[in-house]
Amino acid sequence: MRTLIAANWKMHGNSSWVDKPAEFGSILPQSKREGVDVLICPPALFLAAMTANTQGVFIGAQNCHHEDKGAHTGEISAEMVKDAGADYVIVGHSERREGGETNRAVQAKAASACRHGLTPIICVGESLSQREAGEAEAVVAAQLAASMPEGETSIVVAYEPIWAIGTGKVPTIEDIGSMHNHIRKIVGKGVRILYGGSVKPGNAREILAVENVNGALIGGASLEMDSLAKITQAVAVSS
Ligand code: PGA
């Protein structure tokens, strides 16, 4: 299974950032990142410009609507994301779930993504109080059951404990390992399971070595190409 290093830029960047895949490619050419898929998810405004010059980096969106078209001001459909040349879309990020996005909405978005040939990255993860109450595994199982599209195997799951996102706090390696084993039992063999939440060059190697961690979803540390390259190098092989 190829490792997926996915950058979630969130609401950062401007039009000059469309050159960042080229910058990334000059720091870490494809020959030095064998076995790794690198993905950048910029703000939707930059998708089309970025897919025009990818240097072997995959491009994805951070969200999509579940319908193909209609009176939905400000939304973009999975079909539009695909038409812009992207290959992936993040759905159900906790920052969007906080804004009211339900499991059912996430499931509908992921199904729409699959219908249009995109790979959805379905985000799940517990809050700090849920972890402290010993409910983390049950919460994640329930989120997965309700937000994975039925019968679709071309999906990616990202486990992102909410309390680890943007905080510098990371679960123990044992906790990451047991949650990823738990998720593996639910999603089956072929699905890549990413870990997300305060992944940085300094902890990437240890996290990415954990069984059933098939990649990372990275926010803050993905904005600088140097840092994204260092994280990629933690798993990359040179040819
Ligand atoms: P972070 O964000 O790496 O800044 O913690 C991860 C994410 O939200 O996907």
CATH number at residue 128: 3.20.20.70
Q: How confident is the model at residue 238 (pLDDT cuts 50, 70, 90)?
A: low
What number is the average pLDDT over the span 82-107? 97
Instruction: Tell me the percentage of the chain whose pLDDT exceeds 90.
Output: 95
- Phi, psi of 145, rounded to the nearest 5 degrees: -60, -35
What is the predicted pLDDT for the residue at 236?
Answer: 80
Within-domain flag for 24: yes
**Residue 237 pLDDT > 80:** no
Domain of residue 93: give its range.
3-233
Nearest to 185 by CA among 210, 164, 212, 158: 212
Within-domain flag for 223: yes
Residue among 95, 156, 159, 160 to mutate when testing ligand 1 (max atoms within 8 A of CB): 160
Q: How confident is the model at residue 123 (pLDDT cuts 50, 70, 90)?
A: very high
Size (the chain), residues? 239
Within-domain flag for 239: no
Within-domain flag for 166: yes
Q: What mean pLDDT is reported for the chain?
A: 96
The count of structural domains within the chain is: 1
Within-domain flag for 94: yes
Q: Is the distance from CB of 89 to CB of 42 less than 8 angstroms?
A: no
Q: Is 199 in the pocket of ligand 1 (CB under 6 A)?
A: yes
Mind listing the pLDDT tens digit for each residue in 196-205?
A: 999 999 999 9
Q: Is 125 in the pocket of ligand 1 (CB under 6 A)?
A: no
The residue whose CA is least distant from atom 6 of ligand 1 is: 219
Residues labelled catalytic: 93, 160
Half-sphere exposure of 190 (CA within 13 A, CB side): 5
Distance (angstroms) between ligand 1 centre and the Cα of 62 equals 12
Distance (angstroms) between ligand 1 centre and the Cα of 92 equals 13
The residue whose CA is least distant from atom 3 of ligand 1 is: 219
Within-domain flag for 29: yes
Q: Is 80 in the pocket of ligand 1 (CB under 6 A)?
A: no
Give the Cα separation of 111 and 122 in Å (integer): 11
Within-domain flag for 40: yes
DSSP helix/strand/coil, 124: strand
Within-domain flag for 238: no
Give the Cα separation of 37 and 16 in Å (integer): 23
**Residue 239 pLDDT > 80:** no
What is the predicted pLDDT for the residue at 200?
Answer: 97
